[in-house]
Amino acid sequence: MARAAAAPARLNDVKGRVLSRLRRAIRVYDLPAVEKISEEDSGTPFRVLVATMLSAQTKDKVTDAASGRLFKVADTPQALARLAESRIARLIYPVSFYRVKAHHVKEASRLLVERHGGDVPDTMQELMALPGVGRKTANLVMIVGHRRPGHICVDTHVHRIANRFGWVRTKTPEQTEHALYEVVPRRWWKDVNLYLVTWGQQVCRPVYPLCGACAIESLCPRVGVTRTGRVSPTARARARA
């Protein structure tokens, strides 16, 4: 029994070492747009919700700028619900699917006012009842907006990298989320998205990952990786420092 129990403990220790190294390694990079907004004095759950809705399939710089323009005009559900959908679309352009997102943001704001008194709900079920809000957005609002650590937010980066790390063997982000709850120590749940998304954008890329510049190269099995990107001697040395 002792040997059987030791194997999961060792695996959890490896995951902890990976996440601990990533925590240090990502400090040189900018925060993703949603986390940046949450760190601001006005980073309310509503702002986090809207920014997350805008961020889907959109680069962080575009999300950050679009959110800033929108919040200068309307930064509460009441104010945003009163805006014309066409004006919202102009304010958030060029985020991807900006017309669809303008409709979802306006409708979500209206429902927040009508059903929740203008507050952002703090349950997954209520969040996912809002238009344009799926599991990824709901989990990120719970973690970043409401400071609830008992969630793991999984997007395409987290799904891809968790499989590349060999932590899970899954086909969809939702499968990955549920699998990660079983294998990642709870203390790291809230950090998984921030660490893996940042690393996935900067180093652990979908194509030609920069394995030679990776802070966890020695701990990664590189599942599915057949070719890697070129890394400068300086970047390689910095990763091993």
Q: What is the DSSP string of 182-240?
A: HHS-GGGGGGHHHHHHHHHHHTS-SSS--GGG-TTGGG---TT--------HHHHHHHH
As to burial, measured by CB atoms within 10 angstroms (0-12 exposed, 13-18 middle, 19+ buried), residue 31 is: middle
Q: Are 191 and 19 in contact (CB under 8 A)?
A: yes
Instruction: Determine which one of 136, 171, 190, 191 is catalytic.
Output: 136
Nearest to residue 133, comparing CAs of 113, 153, 162? 153
155: annotated active-site residue:
yes
176 neighbors 158 (Cβ within 8 angstroms): yes
101 is catalytic: no
* CA distances to 13, 44, 50, 119, 169 from 147, in Å: 25, 11, 16, 15, 29
Q: Is the dihedral of CA 199, 202, 207, 209 positive or negative?
A: negative
Catalytic residue among 60, 101, 106, 155: 155
How far out from the chain centre does Cα 64 lie? 14
Task: With both helix axes pointing from N to C terminus, report the angle between 156-164 and 173-183 in degrees, rounded to the nearest 10.
Answer: 50
Asked if residue 197 lies in contact with residue 236, where contact means CB atoms within 8 angstroms, the answer is: no
- Residues catalogued as catalytic: 136, 155
